[in-house]
Structure 1
């Protein structure tokens, strides 16, 4: 273990118990203390999920990026492992930026971005580290493995990061984020026979001017007969209700031409319709399922736990199982969530007409709720969750416009950001299915994720000043409500 790795792990061991636990999630992966952002190296290795993450153990703001590390058997219960990477070499002295993981010959390889800042210039290159046991990693002596040698005439190394590595037939490939000379997103494809020697293969896809000034964290895979490219654009222009956040997560669905190395999209759409979801990364497990996890936060946002001096900031989302239906990415909670819910509440076909129906003292910090609403005779629905005297998350549904809106504006500490005019709520269109609106709500202390008809999702953080314990459903018109839920074991 290098001196910087040893220093980081000793600091964590000494200081992790001193942080404020008030808003800590319990079954979402969080760092022991300090700052966390992008998920990295998400991989199924030797029967367990390993998830690394961008990490500054020394402060609750972004800083010199390390790779934190945890593992899980069910994606609900996490075991923290030693920090895997620390900056310090001449090619990564200002940060071990985002990347991915792959198994080869029983070993676990990390492909990551080395970040360097010299005066006013930035150099980003792709580097390799390897582990025999999946815990202790050694940086490759031949680093960097992808740099200006492969980029000549294609792109520059000042914005060149986030490699996602995978194997296809007899070759290893990696997609890497770059940008064009006129500030458009660009995804590059490289190929290798052994993970050590890489060659530029193609410009996979380039964005248009309205699609953001940089595409971060690319991920390319095949699912349900479709090719899927996920990216995270910075400053993508809003289109209707979509891309309202300063940065977004976007899925392109289409076909990959492997001979030419070109991706041909049929459509693209926002991955999550909430306020807190960025830099998603996927892995495939031993059952062939594609699982996705994201940073449940966003850039240029006030973070209450940092402002309050709690000693930490950031969380991962709940991992989600993916599918492609009608050329759209759909998401559902991973099986591990259901296996850890103790169902306690149940209602069947409860009629509510032009009134407010309340469930008193039924909210807890780790909770799963499944609601099915027959809206064939309804006009408007308002669901107040974690309701207190003047607080709570608000979910509303307008039947005529088929619009779901989720607001955290009265849910506690105000969270401001770079979005023009402020942004405390998001809306998405959700058509009923057989006259029914179905939603699953997953709450973990300071996070709320909503899964809706058609596999759509909305993810939010919220930091209560007053603990709300009630649920209130206000109906204009008439609905039939079926509900079940309970506490999530952690």
Structure 2
């Protein structure tokens, strides 16, 4: 019998542990305006939903260690998507059908109640196999959840023939024309990813509807964390494939987050993709989940880490690991996806924009008033006579993170090779830099760069291109400087610290 099967996990035990230990975590790398766990380990966002006037974010949570472990559901809420209030743990692995983990899932409101649909990892069967099944918990107050007696509501018996019983997870529930549906990640017998679709009238009794989308050998070995929604009249499916092959500058990480755009044939209940694109061209972005709020905004948030790499806050014994990205509003503008960062601007202390134009030519300079390690750097640069521009962030004498622009190649890049602690991983070559080719010519470069204590998020032109990376300087690193070959004319350069 394993150690885990002997441990009596419960939400009460988890909440006591958090109360006793949250005050002793090391805050050195804790982000200020990104959702992070009070203690322990955080990964995938779960149950991202608006309920009773607040945004609720659940997440994969191991409270007892800064490493991945027996999965619970942590819980926090916010009214502005920037300040998060920790709430009691929502789910613990305390039943036979979820004894080895309450894995990822989603939330939906029905008749004033909040329903959580999640993956339970079962106790081992006679052959020592842990199956993955789908389970349901319900709350009348959004704080305390009861697992339904009918669990698992989607057992392994409901799987189609060509689907793994141990890779069947991450249900994302939605409503369409009076029927509830959920997309669930699955692995087929040929070691490819696929998305299954189930339907229900009441969220309790479910039936298999279709293989919603089947992957190919060229599209990774397993797809995780699917999310289906309509955006500006387009049918969209987000998923996170493992080992999607590299394609030029795209899919450079071991695991990726992909947006497929197409159309659902609701007669066959199958998704017909027309295009695929990577959502974030940085180094740390996985398992995004979205909601539609009462303002009609499609808001997406992702895990700001990557599997198979070092986690310095664990290695250093800081007692916590993991953060979420800034929430982003997704929109189609002139046929292009834009990801607008939301929430933070209202909470920044405005220092005043530079009223004068600053010109650099074949030089490396600082700009007065532009420095800091936690805030928003906004730039608008005339690049008509520029060759290359390097922006040095979190800079000290020995360390820096570099955001670069190559005018001839029209490439935006990020490089953390000298940012501080080296982040090694399963990749043959340590992941230190990425780049993306921008759409159209750029006589003006417009950047919004969000800095926090261990993260950099770069948004180009309101999110036509986005690059996210974790960084861990080993010394104080608040410097920001600019280096160019050719002429860079800064029509706007503002740093607004978060306080």
Q: Same fold (TM over 0.5)?
A: yes
Does residue 279 in structure 1 map to residue 287 in structure 2?
Answer: yes
- Give secondary structure in 1 for the equivalent of 2:350: strand
* Residue number among 102, 107, 117 corresponding to 1:111 in the alignment: 117
* Residue number among 441, 445, 461 corresponding to 2:449 in the alignment: 441
Does residue 91 in structure 1 map to residue 100 in structure 2?
Answer: no
* Residue number among 468, 478, 482 corresponding to 1:459 in the alignment: 468
* In structure 2, C-alpha distance between the alignment counterparts of 1:26 and 1:468, rounded to whole Å: 16
* In structure 2, C-alpha distance between the alignment counterparts of 1:469 and 1:339, rounded to whole Å: 22
Does residue 247 in structure 1 map to residue 262 in structure 2?
Answer: no
Once the 2 structures are TM-superposed, how far is the Cα of residue 364 of structure 1 from its aligned partner?
A: 2.5
- Give secondary structure in 1 for the equivalent of 2:357: strand
Higher mean displacement: 415-424 or 429-438? 429-438
* In structure 2, C-alpha distance between the alignment counterparts of 1:229 and 1:326, rounded to whole Å: 20
Does residue 477 in structure 1 map to residue 486 in structure 2?
Answer: yes
Residue 142 of structure 2 is matched in structure 1 by 134
* Residue number among 208, 211, 216 corresponding to 1:203 in the alignment: 211
Once the 2 structures are TM-superposed, how far is the Cα of residue 366 of structure 1 from its aligned partner?
A: 2.0
Residue 235 of structure 2 is matched in structure 1 by 227
Count of aligned positions: 487
Does residue 256 in structure 1 map to residue 264 in structure 2?
Answer: yes
- Give secondary structure in 1 for the equivalent of 2:384: strand
Output aligned runs, 1:160-175, within 5 Å. 160-175=168-183
Output aligned runs, 1:399-414, within 5 Å. 399-414=407-422
Residue 387 of structure 1 is matched in structure 2 by 395
Once the 2 structures are TM-superposed, how far is the Cα of residue 360 of structure 1 from its aligned partner?
A: 5.9
* In structure 1, C-alpha distance between the alignment counterparts of 2:496 and 2:275, rounded to whole Å: 38
Cα deviation per residue 1:225-277 (whole Å; 9 max; x = unaligned)? 11110000011110101111110000001111112111111110101000000
Once the 2 structures are TM-superposed, how far is the Cα of residue 326 of structure 1 from its aligned partner?
A: 5.1
* In structure 2, C-alpha distance between the alignment counterparts of 1:409 and 1:112, rounded to whole Å: 38
Once the 2 structures are TM-superposed, how far is the Cα of residue 149 of structure 1 from its aligned partner?
A: 2.6
Higher strand share: 1
- Give secondary structure in 2 for the equivalent of 1:343: coil
* Residue number among 102, 106, 121 corresponding to 2:108 in the alignment: 102
Once the 2 structures are TM-superposed, how far is the Cα of residue 459 of structure 1 from its aligned partner?
A: 0.5
* Residue number among 418, 422, 434 corresponding to 1:426 in the alignment: 434
RMSD: 1.5
Output aligned runs, 1:244-393, within 5 Å. 244-325=252-333, 327-334=335-342, 336-347=343-354, 348-359=356-367, 362-393=370-401
* In structure 2, C-alpha distance between the alignment counterparts of 1:431 and 1:112, rounded to whole Å: 38
Residue 487 of structure 1 is matched in structure 2 by 497
- Give secondary structure in 2 for the equivalent of 1:122: coil
Once the 2 structures are TM-superposed, how far is the Cα of residue 327 of structure 1 from its aligned partner?
A: 4.9
Once the 2 structures are TM-superposed, how far is the Cα of residue 455 of structure 1 from its aligned partner?
A: 2.1
- Give secondary structure in 2 for the equivalent of 1:342: coil
Cα deviation per residue 1:68-113 (whole Å; 9 max; x = unaligned)? 0000000000000000000021100000000000000000000000
* In structure 2, C-alpha distance between the alignment counterparts of 1:432 and 1:143, rounded to whole Å: 52
Once the 2 structures are TM-superposed, how far is the Cα of residue 157 of structure 1 from its aligned partner?
A: 1.7
* In structure 2, C-alpha distance between the alignment counterparts of 1:189 and 1:14, rounded to whole Å: 42
Cα deviation per residue 1:182-201 (whole Å; 9 max; x = unaligned)? 11110001110000100111
* In structure 2, C-alpha distance between the alignment counterparts of 1:152 and 1:242, rounded to whole Å: 32
Once the 2 structures are TM-superposed, how far is the Cα of residue 175 of structure 1 from its aligned partner?
A: 0.2
* Residue number among 38, 44, 47 corresponding to 1:38 in the alignment: 44
Question: Do 2:39 and 2:320's aligned partners in 1 also have CA atoms closer than 8 Å?
Answer: yes
Once the 2 structures are TM-superposed, how far is the Cα of residue 120 of structure 1 from its aligned partner?
A: 4.2
Higher mean displacement: 217-226 or 475-484? 475-484
Residue 16 of structure 1 is matched in structure 2 by 22
Once the 2 structures are TM-superposed, how far is the Cα of residue 356 of structure 1 from its aligned partner?
A: 1.5
Question: Do 1:360 and 1:471's aligned partners in 2 also have CA atoms closer than 8 Å?
Answer: no
Question: Do 1:384 and 1:393's aligned partners in 2 also have CA atoms closer than 8 Å?
Answer: yes
Cα deviation per residue 1:110-142 (whole Å; 9 max; x = unaligned)? 000001252542300000000000000000111
Cα deviation per residue 1:447-473 (whole Å; 9 max; x = unaligned)? 110001352110011111111222111
| 5+ residue gaps, structure 2 | 1-7
Residue 63 of structure 1 is matched in structure 2 by 69
Cα deviation per residue 1:16-60 (whole Å; 9 max; x = unaligned)? 111111110111110101000000000011111000000000001
Question: Do 1:226 and 1:327's aligned partners in 2 also have CA atoms closer than 8 Å?
Answer: no
Cα deviation per residue 1:315-357 (whole Å; 9 max; x = unaligned)? 11111111123554320111x2111122215234322111122
Question: Do 1:296 and 1:316's aligned partners in 2 also have CA atoms closer than 8 Å?
Answer: yes
Once the 2 structures are TM-superposed, how far is the Cα of residue 397 of structure 1 from its aligned partner?
A: 0.9
Once the 2 structures are TM-superposed, how far is the Cα of residue 213 of structure 1 from its aligned partner?
A: 0.4
